[in-house]
Amino acid sequence: MLRFIQVLILMTSLVGAPGCASLPDLSQRQASYAIHPVDTAQTQLGSLIARAFEIKADPHSRVNAGVLVLDEAEPSLTARLLLIENAERSIDIQYYIWRDDTSGVLIIQALEQAAQRGVRVRVLLDDIHSGAVTPFLHELNRYPNVEIRLMNPFMPRGALVLGFLTDFDRSNRRMHNKSLTVDNQASIVGGRNIGNDYFLNGHTDILFSDMDLLAVGPIVQDISVRFDNYWNSDSAYPLELLENPPSKAPAAVIFDYQPRLPHLQTFFSNATWYGVHAVVVSDSPTKLLGHAAPEELITHKFRIVFDEPQQEMLLISPYFIPSTELIQSLGALVEHGVNVQVLTNAYATNDVTLVHSGYAKHRKELLRAGVRLFELRPTALAIPLVEEPEDNDLPFSSVSASSLHAKTFIIDRHRVFVGSFNFDPRSANLNTELGLVVESEALGQQMAQTFLNNTPYHAYEVVLNEKDKLEWHERNEQGDIIAVYHIEPETSWLQRLLIGFFSLLPIDPLL
């Protein structure tokens, strides 16, 4: 819906709009920085990590992180709550979306309790979806050790559409980063926002099957540096400078969730950890102002961190709108013998119709280039990308549904990216993004094998037939084709008409 609104607003803004409302003066804003991990080494979290992991900044070892894959909804929420519950010195939290639903309020409650313990809390939230949760943030902001800043805020307040109309170029750029760091000892980075859609999927209609990494070790300090860069940037505005607290506080909702959480040490001990070499990749916050140099963009950093694939490249992206350059690059890899496979959403599992239209028109080009193309079926269960112990004791029940939101790619079964970056023009050119590139044969092999084993059964494979027409093949668990569709599955004629119409519009740069 947001992207549809942005496109309509762009068309309207071409006609002309009044001048934009001015943003507050930041000259009195105080800079602040992450607490050094040396100063938090004796916290409960720091001590636990030191005992459990031998991950040190050893010049003779490339291992600089321990990572735990959070590819299912329940443990992802549990991990966040456990870290916040055990925080002693600091919590830095950065998100694109924060809903005012059960899980959103749960995390705010946990942050409030941390503030009451004397923990310093810094919350950095993109302003695009902040409206509903803002009253809760104002309540949290009452604590002297809590600071809340909104990234790239809309002006005037309470008039999002007007903000787009009057300052579209700036307002159209959003902070899409997602991270949570506690005591500068542990961080969660990945694709999930804060909301029931991402955590309590038994209570919603759609699961965004997603992926995060919980990281410990020296890499956490690099994540904190990225947070500080955004926190102290020219686009981060203290909440109290933008608006006054509401006259009436939101109704207090208290969740007695602590007894249902496992002990932190138990959670860590029962998890499957990988010792990896990790690199943080992110955009400079100046990208939000349109001032970032090419070398400050995440796309440039991908080229530095990743060697060219030699054998295999597996891409998972919910929003996949390849540029001509990307299609040519993937085709060149195929010509050199690289197995390139892409998993994205089918129309029935995509939550943004405009994005699907931007992708659909490139399907034939991708297939002609030799790329294998899969679209997640709406009847598929969420696919864990790594195997988890069957006896995990998690505090919330859930029911799996289908919609892809994970953003990851696996190269030659030893390099993996997990983060917020979609393969679309918006991630490449407009939004800021954050992720981890990890080097680990164990993790790469596990994720690649799970992808290859499960994707053909859980997704349609899109192919070109002898008449150069698209077909969608559905397979059973044994890999046998059980159905062939000659029109896009689970779409009506009107939906296909709209997809075709939107495909004709020159709106790819906005998608």
Task: Choose, from 129, 301, 362, 407, the residue flagged as catalytic.
Answer: 407
Distance CA 33, CA 239 (A): 18
* Nearest to 13, CA basis, from 169, 153, 160: 169
Residue-by-residue DSSP string for 103-166:
HHHHHHHHHHHHHHTT-EEEEEEEGGG-TTTHHHHHHHTTSTTEEEEEES--SSTT-HHHHHHH
* Nearest C-alpha neighbor of 88 from the set 186, 10, 165: 186
458 is catalytic: no
203 catalytic? Reply is no
- pLDDT, tens digit (0-9, with 9 covering 90-100), for 102-135: 899 999 999 999 999 999 999 999 999 888 899 9
Name the token pair of 157. Answer: 């307040």
Mean pLDDT of the chain: 87
Q: Which residues in the chain show pLDDT less than 70?
A: 1-21, 54-61, 201-208, 380-402
User: For residues 345 and 42, what is the distance between their CA atoms, to the nearest angstrom?
Assistant: 45
Q: Decide if 422 contacts 319 (C-beta within 8 A).
A: yes
Give residue-wise pLDDT tens across range 184-226.
Answer: 999 999 999 999 888 876 434 343 478 999 999 999 999 999 9
- Among residues 183, 197, 212, 508, which one is catalytic? 183
Taking residue 467's Cβ as centre, other Cβ atoms within 10 Å add up to: 6
Q: Is 22 exposed, middle or buried (0-12, 13-18, 19+ CB in 10 A)?
A: exposed
Phi, then psi, of 361 in degrees rounded to 5: -70, -10
Please identify, in words, the CATH class of the domain defined by 40-273.
alpha beta
DSSP per residue over 81-108, as a string?
HHHHHT-SSEEEEEES-B-SSHHHHHHH
Give the CATH superfamily of 279-510.
Endonuclease Chain A (3.30.870.10)
- Is 301 a residue of the active site? no
Supply 247's token pair: 């006259």
**Which DSSP string corresponds to 439-471?**
E-HHHHHHHHHHHHHHHHHHEEEEEE-TTS-EE
Token pair of 12, please?
């309207």
Domain boundaries, the chain: 40-273, 279-510
User: Alpha-carbon distance 5 to 255, whole Å?
Assistant: 35
Residue 467 bears catalytic tag: no
407 counts as catalytic? yes
Q: Enter the tokens of residue 384.
A: 């864990």
- pLDDT reported for residue 505: 87
Query: Catalytic: which of 100, 127, 412, 508?
Result: 412
Cα→Cα distances 443→102, 179, 235, 276, 387, Å: 32, 21, 36, 9, 11
Residue-level pLDDT at 61: 66
- Cα separation, 238 vs 226, whole angstroms: 18
pLDDT in tens, 382-415: 555 555 444 433 333 333 345 788 999 999 999 9
Please tell me the predicted confidence (pLDDT) of residue 145: 98
Return the number of other C-beta atoms located less than 10 Å from residue 468's C-beta. 9
d(CA 188, CA 176): 15
Q: Which residues make Cβ contacts (< 8 Å) with residue 374, sequence separation at least 6?
A: 341, 342, 343, 344, 455, 456, 459, 460, 461, 462
How crowded is residue 388: how many other Cβ atoms within 10 Å of its Cβ?
Answer: 16
> Are 351 and 403 spatial neighbours (Cβ–Cβ below 8 Å)?
yes
Distance CA 386, CA 447 (A): 6
pTM of the model: 0.91
- Would residue 60 show up in a list of annotated catalytic residues for this protein? no
Check if the beta carbon of residue 432 is closer than 8 Å to that of residue 175. yes
User: What's CA 307's distance to the chain center, in Å?
Assistant: 23
Out of 100, 127, 138, 178, pick the active-site residue: 178
What is the per-residue pLDDT for 14? Answer: 42
List beta partners, residue 313: 340, 411
Fold: same for 40-273 and 279-510: yes
User: How big is the CA angle at 244 (ends 238 and 245), to the nearest 5 degrees?
Assistant: 100
Query: Quick one: pLDDT at residue 510?
Result: 78
Catalytic residue among 129, 138, 176, 458: 176
- What the block records as the tokens of 30 is 């105080």
According to the model, what pLDDT value does residue 15 have?
41
